Structure 1
Amino acid sequence: MILVKNILKKYGNKKVVNDVSVNIEKGKITSFIGPNGAGKSTLLSMITRLMQKDFGEVYIEGKEISTWDKKELSKKIAILKQSNNLNMRLTIRELVSFGRFPYCEGRLTEEDEKFVDDAIEYMNLVDIQEKYLDELSGGQRQRAFIAMVIAQGTDYIFLDEPLNNLDMKNASSMMKVLRNLCDDLGKTIILVMHDINFTACYSDYIVALKDGKIAKQGTVDEIINEDTLREIYEMDFNVQEIDGNKISIYY
């Protein structure tokens, strides 16, 4: 479990994350939603120690994050941010191998190679694993980065807008993969999301932020409703249920 207690981040006099507390349960998908500037990515960055918090505490399995050894933390949590630009020309396999760096520091063992093989196979990249990243479509490239995260073998996976620049088909495939990682492999997945419908279909728990604070948090049924969405986004929504999933249309 990850326990976030009263964390705060400010720039000058502006509090971009203001006294936020949340419990992230193991083995579930938790999604952060909210309008632009709500503090979603900043919150994720502080939870993962990519950004220093100004106040508050983050506990990962009972241990405050500031006390974790960097190498041990990288074996516990994996992070994939929005921008995945690399200056090196890498093949898919070379990229995925980077996921094993916390364990082997670049000298892959037979066990490490097995993790790489399994991750590539899980993301259906076997036939193109020797292709270079700059030769891939947006969907293939995103799958390659997810494979790298899988190869890292962590319990917790943090993804900042994983559907960014993906068309609907690739976005749907990506969310199914994340759902399977949670259900089949027991991963705990934390997402920053903009698409309300994908959030509703695949999340277990939703944290809605607005102006740096938690506007509301709860299950899909508790968050994906017209009144709550109107409060968060300040616009009207029509929420319907289709085949057991809630679908929201804004207007």
Structure 2
Amino acid sequence: MIKLQNVTKVYGNKTVVDAVSVRIQEQRLTAFIGSNGAGKSTLLSMISRLLKLDGGEITIDGTEVRQWNQEELAKTLSILRQSNHMNLRLTIRELVSFGRYPYSKGKLNKQDHAKIDEALSYTGISDIQNKYLDQLSGGQRQMAYIAMVIAQDTKYIFLDEPLNNLDMKHSVQIMKILRRLVDGLGKTVVIVIHDINFVSCYADNILALRNGKLVKNGETKQIITSEVLAGIYDMKIDINHIGGNDICVYYT
């Protein structure tokens, strides 16, 4: 379990994450939602130790995050950031192999290659694994990065806005993969995401931030209501029930 207690981040005189206390449940897909600047990505980065805390405490499986050995943390928690593109000319398979670095230190063995094959198959890109990243569409490239994270084979998987600039087809494919990681492999997936309808259809839990403060935390069905969403986004959002899902309408 991941537990946050009064977690705070300050830049200059601005508090971007303000004393957030919450527990992230295991084997669930949890979505961080909120408007731009709410503190979602900052909070994700602090949990994964990419940013230092200015206050409070984060524990992962009972150990404070700053006390984790870096190598062991990389075998427990993986993160895909927004700015994940590399300038190196790599094939998909070469990129995915980076996910095995915490185990292989660059010397891939039979087990590493098996994990790479599994990740490529899981994301449906085995047939193009020898293509170079600069030959891919945006959706294919993002799928390759998702495969890299899967190959890392961690208990916790964090993704910071993985659907950015993707078409509908690839967005749905990625959300289905994340859902399968939870349901089929027992992973704990945490995602920062703006599309509230993908959250409604695929997430188990929601953690909602506004101006750095935690305003709501709970099961998706409890958060996806017009009243609750109005307090998060400061706008009117109607909810329609379509095909067993709660669909948010906010275009009018």
TM-score (norm 1): 0.99
Q: Which residue of 1 aligns with 2:135?
A: 135
Counterpart residue type for residue 149 of structure 1 = V
Cα distance in structure 2, aligned partners of 1:169 and 1:113:
29
Q: Deviations over 1:151-185 (max 9, x none)?
A: 00100000000101111111111100100011001
Q: Which residue of 1 aligns with 2:236?
A: 236
1:50 lines up with 2:50 in the alignment: yes
Q: Deviations over 1:175-229 (max 9, x none)?
A: 0010001100111000001000000111010011000001111111211110111
1:164 lines up with 2:164 in the alignment: yes
How big is the alpha-carbon RMSD for the aligned residues of Structure 1 and Structure 2? Answer: 0.7
Alignment of 1:6-17 (within 5 A): 6-17=6-17
Q: Which residue of 2 aligns with 1:88?
A: 88
CA displacement at 1:83 relative to structure 2: 1.0
Classify the secondary structure of the residue corresponding to 1:240: strand
Cα distance in structure 2, aligned partners of 1:43 and 1:23:
13
Cα distance in structure 2, aligned partners of 1:85 and 1:121:
22
Count of residue pairs the alignment pairs up: 251
Q: Which residue of 2 aligns with 1:184?
A: 184
Counterpart residue type for residue 223 of structure 2 = I
Cα distance in structure 1, aligned partners of 2:70 and 2:196:
34
CA displacement at 1:23 relative to structure 2: 0.6
Counterpart residue type for residue 202 of structure 1 = Y
Alignment of 1:1-251 (within 5 A): 1-250=1-250, 251=252
TM-score (norm 2): 0.98
Counterpart residue type for residue 231 of structure 1 = G
Classify the secondary structure of the residue corresponding to 1:108: coil
Q: Deviations over 1:54-113 (max 9, x none)?
A: 011111110111000000000000000011221210000000000000001000011111
Classify the secondary structure of the residue corresponding to 2:10: strand
Cα distance in structure 1, aligned partners of 2:86 and 2:152:
18
Moved over 3 A (4+): none
Cα distance in structure 1, aligned partners of 2:103 and 2:124:
24
Cα distance in structure 1, aligned partners of 2:85 and 2:196:
26
Q: Deviations over 1:14-45 (max 9, x none)?
A: 10000001111111000000000000000000
Cα distance in structure 1, aligned partners of 2:103 and 2:69:
13
Classify the secondary structure of the residue corresponding to 1:95: helix
Cα distance in structure 2, aligned partners of 1:87 and 1:138:
15
